[in-house]
Amino acid sequence: MSRSVLLPDPAPRSIRVPVISVDDHLIEPPDLFEGRLPAGLADRAPKVIENDDGTQYWLYEGRTYPNVGLNAVVGRARDTWSMEPSRFDEMRPGCFDIQARVADMDVNGVWASLCFPSLVAGFCGSVFMRSDDKELGLACLRAWNDWHLDVWAGTYPERIIPLQLPWLADVEVGAEEIRRNAGRGFKAVSFPEFPAQLGLPSVFADHWDPLLAACAETGTVLCMHTGASAWAPLPSPGPPFELLPTLFPVNALIAAAEWLWSGIPVRFPDLDIALSEGGIGWVPMLLDRVDYVLAHSASGNESGAWRGDLLPSEVLRRNFWFCSIDDPSLVELRHVIGVDHIMVESDYPHADSTWPDTQAVLDKTLGSLPEDELRKIAYQNAAKLFRHPLPPSDDWRHGGS
Amino acid sequence: MSRSVLLPDPAPRSIRVPVISVDDHLIEPPDLFEGRLPAGLADRAPKVIENDDGTQYWLYEGRTYPNVGLNAVVGRARDTWSMEPSRFDEMRPGCFDIQARVADMDVNGVWASLCFPSLVAGFCGSVFMRSDDKELGLACLRAWNDWHLDVWAGTYPERIIPLQLPWLADVEVGAEEIRRNAGRGFKAVSFPEFPAQLGLPSVFADHWDPLLAACAETGTVLCMHTGASAWAPLPSPGPPFELLPTLFPVNALIAAAEWLWSGIPVRFPDLDIALSEGGIGWVPMLLDRVDYVLAHSASGNESGAWRGDLLPSEVLRRNFWFCSIDDPSLVELRHVIGVDHIMVESDYPHADSTWPDTQAVLDKTLGSLPEDELRKIAYQNAAKLFRHPLPPSDDWRHGGS
């Protein structure tokens, strides 16, 4: 196997509007953990191993974690996409190398990016949380966060929004990490949309309040990435693979409904919740439905599950942020949802990715919007939510237009 | 306990537009099965029994089935709603008596109604399908269908759209029943959205093709009522009750996605599928998403899960019909979904019901629509789909309007 599976570099696309992508991924490079764990733990950090069959895996605490091919498809011909494990030298370097990534962002007209982990960490750090040795797990999690801040975000601080992984195994330690990380520049945290599916306390308990209070106090955005809890709504056996990604937005829908009814965004009115890779086309349903159910509830607003003076739909519009990848219906839906709470993603380097044509996709789908609305959705809302710098101009890469 | 829990009869509402409600329910009356089973089976038909505590249950094959209070709340004060079993004399007679039902439809300005069963049958006849004695089960199912056609629909044939229950335990017998029932006037069949959740073959097998072919050939509309398979997408323990009805439309969303990817509506282009109590606010998400996933699928259109020349979104708009109860966003969404495939429901006598104010709800939500679109959504689409007579005029009840 070799890099021959990779397509040639694409030419830079013309820029219709700068983009801040709030859902991309990084593939952890093999040297991520080097020099980042305490001496007594360093030799037990995750490491990349070569199998006899030419594939590569991460090894951690005796378990193996492949880099799934479909999670690193950018720059590869469609007929090479698969669920099979992928080698680093079969990936486009932008998957794991920040210099190459920023170059790929420039090609694509993406000013800034929020990058989630890949499978060796779990989208929300669940692999480290599940460590047999919790001290080692916390050390690995901190190493991941340190590397993310120092290397991934630190090399080009204006181009990457720092996203931390949370320590889920102890909510008080986790809350302290949120505060410490906010102090050193992290703006967001990846959090499971259904903690109970990871064996953790349910969102309907008040277990998570200390960590959520730390997020609300520090302005750390809670990013719930579809699938981070390894649960999907698949009631019927035997579906074709395509059903799973078709239903990605349903995780966000159910998560939004659960978190709303949990009362968390009422208890923490300043908590910002971003539904990463959650889509936008279902939001009208939830807006309509939550208020209707409250009005038809046996218990009603006084003694029942809903507290506070606002309607559930008002809290949904206040605390939650939605993410579009390529949704033609957004043009009709945007005012129902709220133009100020819609952001976009390019999902580099997954199979869903619009790279390198994110600009063309946006232009095709949203090009007819008024310029102020287009700019809010493409980057201004994200810059405001994540307190990230705006691009100096539309041609920051000196050559784009 | 007594009928004192019932509120006084409401005055007839003024009619903004005639309504055909495509999702209501009937509560099976105690005498439903009388004289409708073969002599050797008659004494084993379901029967209503009185408990010592004053509640009533259906008894069938040694198992009990209550009428849940929240499924018969019309005409009762909010503070009497509950999940507790309900007595027939605590229900509004329109729940189980067709004369009273049609009077209640008149009050509400509902010209015609499609009525699903209640728990003694299961929304799609699953109780009979699960009978220990399958001969008895089939006899009960036929008795239910006979009663529905003779009494419920037969008393006022212009006011009730005949809906049959399917025989799910044997697909060939079930297909024959569909043909026989179409010949005697049934226009629709209640079918589980996720058969596998009832222990039956998955929608992704071709097991159901004979029954579906019978539906397509006879124009029998497949009505998939949310919850008919007793499955709900609830990944987190401990939710308040309100989460369940909030997510009713998600069952329809997942069902539509599964049935699309199953290829069934491609194999049976004439099959009409109505997503009863499924809502409409999520449809833009699925329309956008299915085509996107196909375009980003590793296998693509040629060798993969999707067959035929149409896009998945085109098949969704062709074969599926959507149902609104009170969805303010419908005004913005209707052209994305397709005005010709949206219908309405009043959900009498469930907690969700808009009775007796369905007219006011429609006027508030949809009153601003062009008159031709309003009339399509309120009754013309349903009349066309179910081949049901239109109202002779807007004041069929002589005094309304």
pLDDT band at A1 (very low <50, low <70, confident <90, very high): very low
Are A293 and B242 inside 8 Å of each other by CB?
A: yes
A43 lies in some domain:
no
Are B246 and A238 inside 8 Å of each other by CB?
A: no
Average pLDDT over residues A362-390: 97
Are A327 and B288 inside 8 Å of each other by CB?
A: yes
A277 lies in some domain:
yes
B293 contacts on A by Cβ (under 8 Å): 242, 245-246
Are A240 and B204 inside 8 Å of each other by CB?
A: yes
- Pick B288's closest partner by Cβ from A247, A281, A298: A281
A339 contacts on B by Cβ (under 8 Å): none
Are B235 and A258 inside 8 Å of each other by CB?
A: yes
Structure tokens at A165: 């992984």
Question: What CATH number is given to the structural domain containing A310?
Answer: 3.20.20.140
Sheet holding A47-50, edge to edge: A47-50, A56-60, A63-66
Helices (H), B263-380: 264-267, 283-295, 300-303, 312-319, 330-337, 358-366, 371-375
- What is the pLDDT at residue B2? 47
- What is the pLDDT at residue A302? 54
Are A240 and B282 inside 8 Å of each other by CB?
A: no
Give buried/exposed letters for A24-43 (b at 16+ CB in 10 A, else e).
bbbbbbeebbeebbeeebee
- Pick A332's closest partner by Cβ from B299, B327, B332: B332
A195 neighbors A212 (Cβ within 8 angstroms): no
pLDDT band at B4 (very low <50, low <70, confident <90, very high): low
B43 lies in some domain:
no
- What is the pLDDT at residue B300? 55
Phi, psi of A10 (to 5 degrees): -75, 155
Are B329 and A306 inside 8 Å of each other by CB?
A: no
List, for residues A145-187, the tens digit of each pLDDT value.
999 999 999 999 999 999 999 999 999 999 999 999 999 999 9
Are A237 and B296 inside 8 Å of each other by CB?
A: no
Are B351 and A300 inside 8 Å of each other by CB?
A: no
Please give the distance of CA A59 from its chain centroid, rounded to a whole number: 24
- What is the pLDDT at residue B302? 53
pLDDT band at A303 (very low <50, low <70, confident <90, very high): low
Nearest one of A114, A92, A111, A88 to A31, comparing CA atoms: A88
Question: Which residues, 6 or more positions from A283, have their beta carbon under 8 angstroms from its beta carbon?
Answer: A316, A322, A333, A336, A337, B281
Residue A313 CA to residue B151 CA, distance in Å, equals: 43
A285 contacts on B by Cβ (under 8 Å): 249, 253, 279-282, 327, 329
Helix and strand numbers, DSSP H then E, in chain A: 15, 12
Are B282 and A281 inside 8 Å of each other by CB?
A: yes
Structure tokens at B36: 């409708």
A264 contacts on B by Cβ (under 8 Å): none
A363 lies in some domain:
yes
Q: Is the pLDDT of residue A2 over 50?
A: no
List, for residues A242-252, the tens digit of each pLDDT value.
999 999 999 99
A71 lies in some domain:
no
Average pLDDT over residues B10-30: 96
**Number of domains into which chain B is organized:** 1
User: Angle at the Cα of A352 (from A286 to A100), degrees rounded to 5?
Assistant: 125
- What is the pLDDT at residue B299? 63
Q: Is the pLDDT of residue B282 over 70?
A: yes
Domain that holds residue B316: 98-385
Are A281 and B261 inside 8 Å of each other by CB?
A: no
B332 contacts on A by Cβ (under 8 Å): 284, 332-333, 335-336
B358 neighbors B110 (Cβ within 8 angstroms): yes
Q: Picking from A54-68, A240-254, A377-391, B210-224, which range would have the lowest pLDDT averaged per residue?
A: A54-68
Q: Is the pLDDT of residue B1 over 50?
A: no
A69 neighbors A82 (Cβ within 8 angstroms): yes
Return the biggest CA–CA distance within chain B.
65
Which amino acid type is present at position B90? E
B224 contacts on A by Cβ (under 8 Å): none
- Mutation target to probe the B interface, by most B beta carbons within 10 A, among A285, A334, A365 is A285
- What is the pLDDT at residue B303? 52
Are B284 and A246 inside 8 Å of each other by CB?
A: no
B262 contacts on A by Cβ (under 8 Å): 239
A288 contacts on B by Cβ (under 8 Å): 279, 281, 326-329
> Which residue of chain B has the CA closest to A231?
B235
Element (H, E) at A77: none
Average pLDDT over residues B219-240: 96
Residue B288 CA to residue B401 CA, distance in Å, equals: 40
Are B261 and A249 inside 8 Å of each other by CB?
A: no
Are A258 and B241 inside 8 Å of each other by CB?
A: no
- Pick A194's closest partner by Cβ from B235, B240, B246: B235
Average pLDDT over residues A120-134: 93
- Pick A305's closest partner by Cβ from B242, B247, B300: B242
Residue A374 CA to residue A18 CA, distance in Å, equals: 10
> Which residue of chain B has the CA closest to A330?
B284
**Three-class HEC string of A128-178:** HHCCCCHHHHHHHHHHHHHHHHHHHCCCCCCCEECEECCCCCCHHHHHHHH
- What is the pLDDT at residue B223? 98
Q: How many CA atoms lie within 13 A of A359 on its CB side?
A: 20
Q: Picking from A59-63, A76-80, A196-200, B377-381, which range would have the lowest pLDDT averaged per residue?
A: A76-80
Are A282 and B285 inside 8 Å of each other by CB?
A: yes
B61 lies in some domain:
no
- What is the pLDDT at residue B240? 93
- What is the pLDDT at residue B294? 93
- Pick A237's closest partner by Cβ from B196, B292, B336: B196
Cβ contacts below 8 Å, chain A against chain B, sum to 221
B62 lies in some domain:
no
- What is the pLDDT at residue B87? 86
B285 contacts on A by Cβ (under 8 Å): 249, 253, 279-282, 327, 329
Are A233 and B229 inside 8 Å of each other by CB?
A: no
Nearest one of A337, A358, A312, A331 to B242, comparing CA atoms: A312
- Pick B282's closest partner by Cβ from A197, A233, A285: A285
State whether residue A279 is helix, strand or coil.
strand
Please give the distance of CA A194 from its chain centroid, rounded to a whole number: 15
- What is the pLDDT at residue B399? 59
B113 lies in some domain:
yes
A329 contacts on B by Cβ (under 8 Å): 284-285, 287-288, 333, 336
List, for residues A77-123, the tens digit of each pLDDT value.
877 777 776 788 888 999 999 999 999 999 999 999 999 998 778 89
pLDDT band at B74 (very low <50, low <70, confident <90, very high): confident
B300 contacts on A by Cβ (under 8 Å): 78
The distance of B353 to chain A (nearest Cα, Å) reads 8
- What is the pLDDT at residue B301? 52
Structure tokens at A35: 């020099």
- Residues of chain B above pLDDT 90, percent: 82
